[in-house]
Structure 1
Amino acid sequence: MTRAHHTATESEVAYLARALKAPRIGSDYAAIAAQARDGSWTYEEYLAAVLSVEASARAESGARGRIRRAGFPQIKTIDEFDFSTQPTIDRGRIARLETGGWITEAGNVIFLGPPGTGKTHLATGLGVIAARQGYRVAFDTAAGWITRLTQAHNRGELDGLLKKLNGYQLLIVDEVGYVPIEADAANLFFQLVSGRYERGSLIMTSNLPFSRWGECFGDITVAAAMVDRIVHHAEIFTHKGTSYRIAGREGVLPSVVAERQAH
């Protein structure tokens, strides 16, 4: 190949890479071609290698976008979680959830227990994995979801919002029970949960056992109907112990415990 021909080929590849919106092909094809010549690859092997670079980069870019759009307050991973602080949480059960099969089956995951015991960390970690696996994920607190639903209802756009949220394979509802929910808002939240029953997955965290969800939602009947749908296809984990954020801090833990007991 003459130098002029080589330059023309480079220009054509660069143009085609831009036209296909495949910048990694444009930047990496020459280096891969050198490897192919040294290794006596077939044409098919070279083509597969070039396409693989672009496909991998696109997958990673898509994952980053889904994670960003999910609205996680912080990015937490399962690998970062210290399971020694929660011996009641079976690492094997969490590992099975990391495969993502439960989302395909529209299952749910529930983390119950005191504040500061890692519920949000595990919920976020599973959500991040789901986003990397290609699922659409959205995260908010229970109060945040209630605000969204109430605002949509007041604008006459509730059906549109619920339809939009049904396009997400996984919704994460954090901190159920931290803020009391009025009856009208509880009914809106019930519509969200009911609409996802056997159609889409939920991860929920709560500081209250299911028996006390009536206190949070202000209506025992609505709470019971909601719990019935949530737990039907759910993996439920119960966290124990004291908040890791204050455990071991000398002089802080006793005063916090005493204050809670006083109230």
Structure 2
Amino acid sequence: MTTAAMTKKGGIAPKDGMPSMLAYLTRVLKMPTIGAFWEELAGQARDQNWSHEEYLAALLQRQLADRESKGTTMRIRTAHFPAVKTLEDFNLDHLPSLRRDVLAHLATGAFVAKAENVILLGPPGLGKTHLAIGLGVKAAHAGYSVLFDTASNWIARLGAAHHAGRLEAELKKIRRYKLIIVDEVGYIPFDQDAANLFFQLVASRYELGSIMVTSNLPFGRWGETFSDDVVAAAMIDRLVHHAEVLTLTGDSYRTRQRRELLAKENRASNG
């Protein structure tokens, strides 16, 4: 069915053909939300005496909101987070060292737009991975593509590409993501070949795309992880040049939960 077949002189569909006309137009223009809600909003517009402009704006806002919501859902799905965690669910009370204003700024995603980095350092159990995922989710909501993985998995991915003779192609593919998250640097030591691959990942994104890194080790011990102090220093230099470095201190939430559980059991037994 064509628009010509559905219209009379002047290009306007007859009243009884309007639903078919709009169904066709919204399908061709790829605006399914308008196709689904124009009639409902038209009734609301008549009841509330909206102007034509107000009705049009309401339809377009509904379409845009739906499109952004679906886009965000897709970006979060393709980020491959191990679990979707939000900053709102994170208990900041046990991390007095974390500045709220810095976290709020990072949550805007402005650092991604500037191709800046974020480094989260601190002992295990402080919630670094939760914070990294939460910031990644915020970036996805802001419209940025995100890809998450552990340091060991990033090395495995690059190693496979290198052995297949397509490392440059893989690095180029990774550069399409505005933000990559490298979790758990320092938990597993890497040999020199792995360190060189990781350095190439960092170098390939320098001032071009954002990297977020979590590590249980201070920078001074990264040479132990990457088996080469020189490579580690060169890597750190590129990471921190345009970066927000957050050094976290506090009690492990797992240790704290265990302590609270034991205290609760003691109170119950003494009662």
Question: Deviations along 1:54-100, whole A, 9 cap, x unmatched?
Answer: 11100100000000000100111111111101000011110011121
Cα distance in 1 for partners of 2:188, 2:16 equals 66
Structure-2 residue corresponding to 1:110: 119
**Cα pair 2:155 2:198 within 8 Å, conserved:** yes
Structure-2 residue corresponding to 1:246: 255
**Cα pair 2:121 2:248 within 8 Å, conserved:** yes
Cα distance in 1 for partners of 2:185, 2:82 equals 16
**Cα pair 1:114 1:242 within 8 Å, conserved:** no
Give the share of equivalent positions with the same residue, in percent. 54
Structure-2 residue corresponding to 1:95: 104
1:144 aligned to which of 153, 170, 186: 153
- The structure whose Rg is larger is 2
Structure 1 residue runs without a partner (length 5+): 254-263
Structure-1 residue corresponding to 2:215: 206
Question: 5 Å matches for 1:203-242?
Answer: 203-242=212-251
Structure-1 residue corresponding to 2:3: none
Question: Deviations along 1:195-252, whole A, 9 cap, x unmatched?
Answer: 1111111110000000000000000000000001111111111122332123241599
**Cα pair 1:246 1:252 within 8 Å, conserved:** no
Cα distance in 2 for partners of 1:152, 1:23 equals 40
Amino acid at match of 2:192: A
Cα distance in 2 for partners of 1:41, 1:121 equals 45
Distance 1:250-1:61 versus aligned 2 partners, 3 A rule: same
Amino acid at match of 2:54: E
Structure-2 residue corresponding to 1:187: 196
SS at match of 2:162: helix
1:166 aligned to which of 167, 172, 175: 175
Structure-2 residue corresponding to 1:8: 17
Question: Deviations along 1:12-53, whole A, 9 cap, x unmatched?
Answer: 212222222322112110111112222332222211211111
Distance 1:251-1:137 versus aligned 2 partners, 3 A rule: closer
Cα distance in 2 for partners of 1:250, 1:173 equals 30
**Cα pair 2:97 2:250 within 8 Å, conserved:** no
Amino acid at match of 2:174: L
SS at match of 1:12: helix
**Cα pair 1:187 1:222 within 8 Å, conserved:** yes
TM-score by length of 1: 0.91
Structure 2 residue runs without a partner (length 5+): 1-13, 263-271
Cα distance in 2 for partners of 1:116, 1:204 equals 16
Structure-1 residue corresponding to 2:165: 156
1:24 partnered with 2:33: yes
SS at match of 1:122: helix
Deviation at 1:126, TM superposition (A): 0.6
Deviation at 1:178, TM superposition (A): 0.4
Amino acid at match of 2:254: R
TM-score by length of 2: 0.88
